[in-house]
Structure 1
Amino acid sequence: MSGVTGHQDLRGRIDTTRPHTARIWNYWLGGKDNYPVDREAGDRIRAIHPGIGEYARADRLFLGRAVHHLAAGAGVRQFLDIGTGLPSADNTHEVAQRSVPDARIVYVDNDPLVLTHARALLTSTPEGRTDYLDADVRDTDAILERAARTLDFSEPVALMLLGVVIFIEDDETSYEVVRRLMAELPSGSHLVLSHTIVSPAMPEVDAAVAFWNEHGTPRLTQRTPRQVERYFDGLELLEPGVVSCSRWRPGSEPGPVSSAAGPGGPEGADGPGGSGEPDEVAMFGGVAAKP
């Protein structure tokens, strides 16, 4: 069973005159759900920082590893995926339901183009269920209220926040959003979060982000690895902690690694585990359990 919950009138909401992060991400992953303005911006960003397209691949593989671990190893059967992005290979429900056919997944995004493709995210197994909410990550009360139609908040839930709190510029507001969401989830729930970092060792990342914030939408906020760790305060971080997404349990993919990018997707040099990922990217992530 599946459905789409949210505003359906998309007229005037899709702006094809300015590049958008979700569409550039899709372009870097080899997808077709993007416009010339996105491809031009994506190419210009790669000219500034040639390895940045690999971040999309590393983040996607991190998602697969984390979901596979939680579904197959930790017994989590419910996933709240906020900041879904455009459908790609190995979306959260596909990875989870391979191990747990009755898993339930709620996707949340406020990008109208993602909403137009929401049906691709709703191909649930007969035993499980998926739903899609059109909402902003800041609207925590609305998200939790509407997600409760699909998820049972008396049982553990994995909160997925991959590359989404980077769009909340104020630090304390971003931490509070994560705290509010996790506060409503029971013991045994997990937080899966990834975030673009600032690092003196990667100055080209700063230049790429500066270009984006001048020309694209929405604006991105970089944070230090320590600032990213703060999102997990009060939780029990799983090994290896908050690290480059390419270094979070490499080699534990639930299926063929190549499926994460799709035809034409970015390819990095062989990194840890020989997966074709770069050794390290400025996209850091972690997984933590709620005591």
Structure 2
Amino acid sequence: MIEELEKVYKYKYMLVSKEVYSYSGKLFNDTVYTHEKNKLIPLKKDKPTSIYGGYSSEKSAYMVIIKILKKNKSNIYKVVGIPEIYSEKLEKLKLDDTKTYVEKFREIINKQLNKSEINNYSIVLDKVMYNQLIFENGEWMTLGSSKERHNAKQLVLENKIIAILDEESRRAISRKDGISSELDMVYEQLINAIRKDFPLYKKYIETLENHKDEFRQLPINSKYDSKGKKSGDGKFDIINDIITGLHANGTRKDIKILGLSEFGRFKSVITFSENAKLIYQSPTGLFERRVKLKDLSK
């Protein structure tokens, strides 16, 4: 039994499956911004943003994927959000008036496109759920929103690293001779893992490499003042923050000592190539169907 468990621990790919869903709830992001911020949504019709400020963005009920035709270039596939404020009306129109539904649907999409895109796109998928699994160029990701990707690949640590980081033995191991250099080795191993298995995180590699000396100079454990507030970072906590930012979800960490802000967050306009694959999984993740975007747009 122990040998079988050790064999499983050494697997380099851990099966991860998540429930896909559409959003239903608040219409806007909670934060209200001052009038100094551009492109705000009014709090109410009679409250202009120039005086009262407003919301920065609407909450999306679900996403769509459109194909944008590019002259003399490869077509791109773009993710666009469908705001919750329109979702109920769209569902009703879809049943009662198909023509009006299509017109309204495109009108909502057009608001999120630039002039060159509005007349050059077709709808590939009219409903893409949150947590939809997608694979492209070695990157495993899920959709956290129309502008946010989440890592979908689980980090697998070697047994010797797990032993070093184990919470139960942490106090005892921190007194062991050489533990500081062992933590330096763990830091190096994490960089190597990102370089080899996490292409989604490639933008962080240079920063992590450039801060090796800062990490080596840290104490083993974080320091706290008399009130229990952290006053200085330690190697154990920094490594734990890096591992947390590598989780297969939307967790992000600010690691200031390493010059990292929101480590693990991937927020930008989301586009794919025609070879990106949408992966539809069973609840267990044991069964799946993979479809390339180019095959959906034929």
TM-score by length of 1: 0.23
For the pair shown, the structure with the greater C-alpha radius of gyration is 2
Which protein has greater RCO, CA pairs closer than 8 Å, 6+ apart? 1
